Amino acid sequence: NAGVTQTPKFQVLKTGQSMTLQCAQDMNHEYMSWYRQDPGMGLRLIHYSVGAGITDQGEVPNGYNVSRSTTEDFPLRLLSAAPSQTSVYFCASSPHRGGTYEQYFGPGTRLTVT
């Protein structure tokens, strides 16, 4: 049981480039989400999904796209990278129902945009 996995661990992009951050979980969780962590700001929600085919925006969605074609995978796409997207990105998952609210986090992807 690998839990939540994220690739890559590190990435450097030039302004204007695009890329996809990968996230997968093997716990059959319906809920998955992406957060970004910036110094002094805690974690902020980018996008989330409560099941395959269902996605919605979080607090800071601009510049990011997501899709959820399977229960296991929830990739985050940066369409045209900007220096303001330099951050550490965390994917998380949890059951959507059943009263278990705690989330399981991946190890993170550290992204630098130059």
Quick one: 108 or 113, whose CB is closer to another protein?
A: 108
DSSP the chain: ---EEEE-SEEEE-TT--EEEEEEESS--SEEEEEEEETTTEEEEEEEEEETTEEEE-SS-TTEEE--SSSSB--EEESS--GGG-EEEEEEEE-SSSS----EE---EEEEE-
Interaction of residue 60 with another protein, rule CB under 8 A: no
Among 58, 61, 63, 75, the residue binding another protein under the rule CB under 8 A is: 58
Minimum CB–partner distance for residue 16 and another protein (Å): 28
| Residues lying near another protein in the complex (CB under 8 A) | 4, 31, 33, 35, 40-45, 48, 50, 56, 58, 90, 92, 94, 96, 99, 101-108
